[in-house]
Chains A and B, each alone.
Chain A
Amino acid sequence: MPREANAVDFWRGFALITIFIDHIPGLVYSHYTLANFSISDAADLFVFLAGWSLRLMAEGGGRVMPTRNIMLRLGGRALEIYAAQVLITMIAIAMLAGSAIEFSNPLLLQWHNAAAVFNDPVPAHIGLAALTHQLGYFDILPLYVVLMLMAPFFALLDRLAPQLLLPFSVAFYLIVLAFRLTLPTWPVSGTWFFNPLAWQVVFVLGFVLAKADAGPGAFVRRHIRWLRVLGVPIVILGALTHQFNWWPDPTKVPDPKLFFIADKTFVTPMRLIQFLALVAVFSITFPYIRKAAEIEALRRPVLALIGLLAMLGRNSLHVFCIGSLLSLTAQIARFYYRGTVWIDTAVVIFGIIVMAVTAWLAEARQRFRAPAPAC
């Protein structure tokens, strides 16, 4: 049986739908997602909740998983995500190639960093396998793979010296920012769009804050009211900054500049602080959303919403993969059928239905799996 709807799955489902919409450039609805009202966006939430889930996996349900099991499980998870990345990248390449043939338009072969794959396949395929060549909008899972490879170390450090994990992660993050350390891309020269060396801090924050009974997680729970009071103006300021273009001129800030500018690749402090404020403020909402289901008139839609988002969140890898391919399908569809509000509406509705069916199928597969025959 799938677990009951909870806040983590609910918000992860929310992040998945948001990422799907954000990854369709030009879509009418992409102007109304979190990224338009906030310095951080759904990617931050997705990575933060991945860290949170790691804690639930390691210590959930009141039992502490043995360290060796955690290592094996995380290694397996990294491999699973890597396989998913390779699979969806190959399907995306085939979709671009198929569309180019079907519509006799080779422009599609140059979309989303795919040109190297078609022009110079020998190094490009090495890059695809090594994750150093990533298609545009197919760059979150490589980050996730690296985070999962780092995760055994985080989990181990958390077991041995839990008080050191967050200081270590933050110190490493600051060094990365100060020296602009990043991972290169190849064969097309450049850098990873999501720099795992910096984004690890978001993942670790999720992992650390998920621990309710000790450390920063316990501190945050004790002082959540004050943190929300502090968070509200930060969230409002973030929205206003976006709305009125109040961004600081990055050339005018002191060195090291990454400490003071808003940058997604390095998930800079401005972005990180605003994201944490957002989490503090919006963490209050899920219980109220659930409470809204007690109102008779709202019961069905609210339960449906909670059920849908939580189901998407519970099956995040499957849904994320399908969502990425749906975003690309939507881009191709919008290109050929013109990006009208009707097409965009159809794209979003269709996309959410397919993501829901994917999640349902993943759970149905678990439910209907035949029990192993007794020996």
Chain B
Amino acid sequence: MASRGTTTLQGARAGVLIAALAVALAFDARAQTPAPSTAPAAAPFTKDCQVGATPIADESPLPNVASVLAKRKTLRILTMGASPGPAGRHGGYSAVIESILERALKGIDVVIINRGVSGELAADAAFRMKNEVALDEPDLVLWQVGTNDALAYVPADQFASTLKTQIDWLKNHKVDVVLVGLQFASQMLRDAHYAEIRDTLRKVAARENVIVVRYYEAMQFVEEAAREGGVSAEEFELTESGSNCLAQYVARAITLGVFAKNLPPRR
């Protein structure tokens, strides 16, 4: 509970920071011309995707992305891991992220390269990711990781080692990473290994100071909110709206990361 409270506080602090940055930049924009092309505009979540006070991601800087945005007008994002859904009316997960980010980071062309392989374990994805980084030269990797390792009973320490090694490799190659955490299913609430992998992911991310989009917690909130009727979180996750919500959480986490470059490392 204590840690949840702390993270909530961190989330609130980040919100204040973003608001302050937005106000400061807005005033700055009025005072000077031309306006900064990358004014932050952390879009509110759509009604379907509201998660109350549930923290969706810890604020961590994305220094390389911030530095790239200062130099050029293109942001290249490589997505790895399972693709959360189909194209749908809004163009799907990747298209929604691209559209939100292009709105938030005005004047920036966001290019998303999808190289996800569904069912792939973290270790296999990590090997392939190095090649993809070399070939596609992304500024940011969006890595949905953990669910397959949890379902395949990969030992948590092995998972942690893979994750840490890969994050270090990405940092050494000046590529930022945003991790997308495990999927939610109420049946997995009592699964010790699933919880252990989730916990491991969070701990490694905290130690390495990288963002984890807490999809599981977000969907858990949806589940609790839907208790009195309506669609369950699992059903919701499978809909286009569920996929869009994840895209919104990811886009929010990235904009937070871009403008959180001066934050001290998390403990």
> In whole Å, how far is A329's beta carbon from the nearest beta carbon of chain B?
14
**With a CB–CB cut-off of 8 A, which chain B residues contact A123?**
86-87
Q: Which of B2-10, B27-35, B103-111, B180-188 contacts A (4 or more CB under 8 A)?
A: B180-188
Does B114 touch A at the CB level, under 8 Å?
yes
**With a CB–CB cut-off of 8 A, which chain A residues contact B124?**
25
Does B130 touch A at the CB level, under 8 Å?
yes
Does A107 touch B at the CB level, under 8 Å?
yes
| Given A110-B82, A187-B86, A250-B238 contact (CB < 8 Å) | no
Q: Check if A105 sits within 8 Å of B187, measured CB to CB.
A: yes
In residues 108-126 of chain B, which contact A (Cβ within 8 Å)? 114-121, 124
Q: Which of B50-58, B61-69, B144-152 contacts A (4 or more CB under 8 A)?
A: B144-152
Q: Check if A110 sits within 8 Å of B237, measured CB to CB.
A: yes
Does A193 touch B at the CB level, under 8 Å?
yes
Q: Check if B152 sits within 8 Å of A339, measured CB to CB.
A: yes
> In whole Å, how far is A127's beta carbon from the nearest beta carbon of chain B?
9
Partner of A25, one of B84, B87, B152: B152
Does A293 touch B at the CB level, under 8 Å?
no
Cα distance, A135 to B82, chains bound together (Å): 11
Partner of B133, one of A114, A251, A339: A251
> In whole Å, how far is B22's beta carbon from the nearest beta carbon of chain A?
32
Partner of B84, one of A104, A110, A137, A189: A110
Q: Which of A44-52, A228-236, A255-263, A278-286 contacts B (4 or more CB under 8 A)?
A: A255-263
Cα distance, A292 to B88, chains bound together (Å): 60
> In whole Å, how far is A249's beta carbon from the nearest beta carbon of chain B?
7
Cα distance, A249 to B185, chains bound together (Å): 38
In residues 202-255 of chain A, which contact B (Cβ within 8 Å)? 247, 249-251, 253
Q: Check if B119 sits within 8 Å of A112, measured CB to CB.
A: yes
| Given A334-B152, A339-B152, A189-B85 contact (CB < 8 Å) | no
Q: Check if A112 sits within 8 Å of B118, measured CB to CB.
A: yes
Beyond the given A107-B187, A187-B87, A261-B134, please list 10 additional residue pairs across the A-B interface where CB-CB is below 8 A: A25-B124, A105-B187, A110-B183, A113-B82, A115-B85, A115-B86, A120-B240, A188-B83, A189-B94, A331-B152
Interface positions of B (Cβ within 8 A of A): 82-88, 92, 94, 114-121, 124, 127-128, 130-131, 133-135, 147-149, 151-154, 173, 183, 185, 187-188, 234-235, 237-240, 243
Interface positions of A (Cβ within 8 A of B): 25-26, 103-107, 109-116, 118-120, 123-124, 135-137, 180, 187-191, 193, 247, 249-251, 253, 257-258, 261-264, 331, 334-335, 338-339
